[in-house]
């Protein structure tokens, strides 16, 4: 059966090559240069051990980017998750126009992030639509627009991100709702359970695997927030995030490849630990119930 | 209804601004005004390189999509049907890539492209994305659900392996490949980070990159910017409306099987 193995190998080759050249090699490469002082124009590359990591942990620009990333992740995920669950419940019923609502909610998710960020830059600008609405409701708005103020810029971007992603997670929640067997609800009806009782003891517990999937996917994505920052503020007004820092330090100003590779690995470890914790927490709760 | 309005308004706003004449109206007037013009679109193609950016996006999008259909299919087939070491290696590599956040390869990929000499060329926009691990997984799962007896019968009849692969299995996999094609095309069409850092000259800019860099003048020319945005959104919306079922099944399929 030698031809058999050969065929399998040949068929798999395109992926194996892509994997080695564009994933495995970069992964190992950036890990190694994270321990060197490699810069664009340096004559020699020196091994510096954990020096980059030590410097990073006292680099205020990096630390504030990291803390902005945490604000972004923890400030968006609860809202995104809860709103998308509510939307899923809303479009789960059987009524006319239901499919229209689903499409309308989902539409932002297929639109390019750059385009969305541009539209919201317009909406958030001084004298823009959102400022106008806020003033009508009696709020004071930042003088130079929401994106040009330290106190509002990051939160405005976060609000946009929630708006953009709820439709996508709504669809996933919807698929989760569909996979709950009707018999459970029928049985609950027979024993006279109230609507809220059914929600809290059938729907919510059975959605846990889907919720876990959403939390993990969304946090991995949110930890890497970059495009909206690039388009809307270029990291100004206290909006720089970890990936923006990597881009800014590594590819626009200093070209310190070794240093930012170490920064990328710090973020990598944070994302890994975070996903693992979510996974363990939700699994433990499941066994308690 | 209120929620629907909030969800749809920004895109309608983009469309409305793109149709309004440059400079004459204030923000509050645009929505209610009755003056419409297509000149913003016209300008983009005549005095701006919009035609080139559109061409680049379509070219790169089509090549990447076609190559993904072909390669995800062959790799997925090898993954599903051959039980030897290949299978295990494939599984490990795919899981690994799904777990690696893309930000970690920004710097090395940039350096590799410089080193190999494909930086700032179409190749940099295409080569890294020829096979998508999620696509391989999708095809693998689909082929897993097909009975193996069909291939065995064809093999006994003396059909060559290539014939079996492309004439018998591939047509059956059409639904999975359609889902895959849409997802890959959308991701590629909207992709910004890598096309931006791997190219430099205007000649290789795709639509999202061109739009993101369109700003940066003193006063932002919203009418033209929104017209450009509309051009980049329209193909996606048309495909979305025509193929909603496949798109939804592609998104939810992966999540529920977890």
Sign for the CA dihedral angle at B194, B199, B200, B205 comes to negative
B257 or A123: which carries more pLDDT confidence?
A123
**Cβ pair B130:A14 closer than 8 A:** yes
- Identify all chain A residues contacting B197, using CB atoms and an 8 Å cutoff: 247, 251
Q: Which residues pair with A173 in a beta bridge?
A: none
* pLDDT in the model for residue A288: 41
**Cβ pair A107:B28 closer than 8 A:** no
- Identify all chain B residues contacting A257, using CB atoms and an 8 Å cutoff: 107, 111
Report for A222-226, B3-7, B150-154: range of highest mean pLDDT: A222-226
pTM score of the predicted model: 0.85
Percent of chain A whose predicted confidence (pLDDT) is above 70:
96
pLDDT digits (tens, 9 = 90+) for B34-67: 777 787 788 778 778 888 899 999 999 999 999 9
Interface test with B, best of A98, A117, A119, A135 (most B CBs within 10 A): A119
pLDDT digits (tens, 9 = 90+) for B58-100: 999 999 999 999 999 988 888 888 766 667 777 788 877 877 7
> b or e along A210-227 (b: 16 or more beta carbons within 10 Å of the residue's beta carbon)?
bbbbbbbbbbbbbbbbbb
Interface of B with A in 39-58 (CB under 8 A): none
Angle at B67 between CA B63 and CA B68, to 5 degrees: 115
Q: Are B135 and B184 in contact (CB under 8 A)?
A: yes
* pLDDT in the model for residue B12: 84
Query: Which band of pLDDT confidence, cut at 50, 70 and 90, is reported for residue B18?
Result: confident
A vs B: CB pairs below 8 A? 240
Judged by phi (left if over 0) then psi (alpha if -120 to 50, else beta), residue A250 lies in alpha
List of domains in chain B: 47-256 (1.10.3720.10)
Is the residue at A16 inside a domain? no
* pLDDT in the model for residue A162: 93
Chain A nearest C-alpha distance from B175 (Å)? 19
Chain A nearest C-alpha distance from B108 (Å)? 5
pLDDT digits (tens, 9 = 90+) for B186-234: 889 988 989 998 888 888 989 899 888 886 555 678 888 888 889 899 9
Q: What is the mean pLDDT of residues B112-140?
A: 87
Q: Which two tokens stand for residue A37?
A: 């002082």
pLDDT digits (tens, 9 = 90+) for B156-185: 888 787 888 888 888 888 888 888 888 889
Question: The CATH number of the domain where A209 resides is what?
Answer: 1.10.3720.10
- Identify all chain A residues contacting B236, using CB atoms and an 8 Å cutoff: 110-112
* pLDDT in the model for residue B95: 77
A126 or A155: which carries more pLDDT confidence?
A155
- CB distance from B6 to chain A under 8 Å? yes
Chain B nearest C-alpha distance from A87 (Å)? 9
Q: Find the closest chain B residue to A99 by CA distance.
A: B244
Interface of B with A in 174-193 (CB under 8 A): 186, 189-190, 192-193
Distances in Å between the alpha carbon of B168 and those of B146, B211, B251? 12, 43, 27
Kindly state the greatest CA–CA separation across chain B.
75
Query: Which band of pLDDT confidence, cut at 50, 70 and 90, is reported for residue A289?
Result: very low
pLDDT digits (tens, 9 = 90+) for A5-31: 777 778 888 888 888 888 888 889 888
- Identify all chain A residues contacting B231, using CB atoms and an 8 Å cutoff: none
Chain A nearest C-alpha distance from B190 (Å)? 5
Chain B nearest C-alpha distance from A138 (Å)? 17
**Cβ pair B108:A115 closer than 8 A:** no
Of A103, A117, A250, the CB nearest to B244: A103
Distance CA A188, CA A142 (A): 52
Number of domains in chain A: 1
pLDDT digits (tens, 9 = 90+) for A202-252: 888 888 888 888 888 888 889 988 888 988 888 888 888 888 988 888 888
Q: Is the pLDDT of residue B22 over 80?
A: no
User: What is the DSSP code string of chain B?
Assistant: -HHHHHHHHHHHHHHHHHTSPTTTS-HHHHTT-----SHHHHHHHHTSSHHHHHHHHHHHHHHHHHHHHHHHHHHHHHHHH--SHHHHHHHHHHHHHHHS-GGGGHHHHHHHHHHHT-TTSHHHHHGGGSS-HHHHHHHHHHHHTS-THHHHHHHHTT--HHHIIIIIIHHHTHHHHHHHHHHHHHHHHH--HHHHHH--SGGG--HHHHHHHH--SSS--HHHHHHHHHHHHHHHHHHHHHTHHHHHHHHHHHHHT-
Chain A nearest C-alpha distance from B18 (Å)? 11
- Identify all chain A residues contacting B90, using CB atoms and an 8 Å cutoff: 12, 15-16
Q: What is the mean pLDDT of residues B139-143?
A: 85
Of A25, A21, A49, A22, nearest to A37 by C-alpha is A49
* pLDDT in the model for residue B86: 65
* pLDDT in the model for residue A69: 93
pLDDT digits (tens, 9 = 90+) for A157-204: 999 999 999 988 998 888 888 888 888 888 888 888 888 888 888 888
What residue numbers bound the domain in which A281 lies? 27-288
Distance CA B40, CA A212 (A): 46
Interface test with B, best of A16, A23, A32 (most B CBs within 10 A): A23
Of A124, A139, A129, A94, nearest to A237 by C-alpha is A124
**Cβ pair A176:B192 closer than 8 A:** no
Q: Find the closest chain B residue to A27 by CA distance.
A: B105
- Identify all chain A residues contacting B251, using CB atoms and an 8 Å cutoff: 168, 171-172
Name the average pLDDT for chain A: 84
Q: Find the closest chain A residue to B95 by CA distance.
A: A19
- Identify all chain A residues contacting B10, using CB atoms and an 8 Å cutoff: 108, 116, 119-120, 123, 163
pLDDT digits (tens, 9 = 90+) for A52-100: 888 888 888 889 999 999 999 999 999 999 999 999 988 887 777 777 8
Name the average pLDDT for chain B: 82
């Amino acid at each position: 059966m030698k031809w058999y193995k050969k065929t399998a190998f040949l068929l798999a080759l395109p992926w194996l090559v892509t994997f080695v050249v564009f994933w495995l090699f970069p992964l190992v490469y950036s890990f190694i240069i994270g321990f060197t002082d490699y810069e664009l124009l340096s004559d020699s590359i020196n091994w510096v051990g954990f020096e980059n990591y030590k410097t990073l942990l006292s680099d205020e620009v990096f630390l504030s980017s990291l803390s902005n990333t945490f604000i972004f992740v923890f400030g968006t995920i609860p809202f995104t998750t809860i709103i998308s669950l509510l939307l899923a419940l809303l479009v789960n019923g059987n009524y006319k126009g239901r499919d229209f609502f689903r499409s309308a909610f989902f539409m932002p998710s297929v639109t390019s992030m750059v385009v969305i960020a541009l539209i919201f830059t317009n909406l958030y600008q001084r004298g823009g639509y959102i400022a106008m609405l806020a003033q009508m409701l009696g709020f004071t708005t930042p003088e130079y627009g929401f994106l040009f103020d330290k106190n509002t810029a990051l939160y405005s971007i976060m609000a946009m991100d929630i708006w953009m992603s709820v439709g996508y997670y709504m669809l996933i929640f919807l698929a989760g709702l569909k996979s709950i067997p009707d018999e459970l609800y029928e049985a609950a009806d027979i024993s006279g359970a109230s609507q809220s009782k059914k929600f809290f003891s059938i729907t919510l517990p059975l959605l846990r695997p889907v919720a876990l999937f959403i939390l993990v996917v969304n946090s991995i994505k949110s930890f890497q927030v970059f495009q909206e920052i690039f388009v809307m503020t270029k990291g100004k007004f206290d909006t720089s995030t970890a990936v923006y820092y990597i881009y800014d330090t590594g590819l626009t100003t200093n070209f310190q490849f070794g240093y930012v590779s170490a920064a990328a690995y710090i973020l990598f470890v944070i994302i890994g630990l975070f996903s693992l914790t979510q996974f363990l927490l939700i699994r433990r709760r499941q066994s308690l119930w | 209804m209120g929620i629907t309005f909030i969800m749809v308004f920004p895109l309608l706003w983009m469309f409305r601004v793109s149709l309004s004449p440059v400079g004459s109206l204030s923000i509050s007037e645009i929505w209610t005004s009755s003056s419409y013009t297509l000149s913003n679109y016209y300008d983009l193609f005549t005095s701006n390189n919009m035609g080139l950016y559109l061409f680049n996006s379509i070219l790169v999008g089509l090549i990447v999509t076609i190559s993904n259909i072909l390669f995800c299919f062959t790799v997925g087939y090898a993954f599903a049907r051959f039980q030897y070491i290949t299978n295990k290696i494939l599984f490990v590599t795919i899981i690994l890539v799904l777990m690696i956040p893309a930000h970690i390869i920004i710097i090395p990929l940039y350096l590799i492209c410089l080193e190999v000499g494909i930086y700032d060329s179409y190749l940099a926009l295409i080569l890294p994305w020829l096979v998508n691990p999620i696509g391989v997984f999708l095809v693998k799962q689909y082929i897993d659900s097909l009975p193996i007896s069909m291939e065995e019968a064809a093999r006994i009849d003396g059909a060559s392996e290539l014939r079996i692969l492309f004439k018998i299995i591939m047509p059956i996999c059409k639904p999975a490949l359609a889902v895959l094609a849409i997802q890959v095309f959308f991701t590629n069409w909207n992709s910004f980070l890598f096309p931006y850092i791997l190219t430099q000259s205007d000649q290789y800019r795709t639509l999202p990159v061109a739009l993101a860099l369109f700003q940066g003048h003193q006063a932002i020319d919203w009418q033209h910017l929104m017209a450009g945005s509309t051009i980049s959104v329209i193909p996606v919306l048309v495909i979305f409306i025509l193929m909603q079922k496949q798109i939804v099944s592609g998104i939810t399929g992966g999540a529920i099987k977890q």
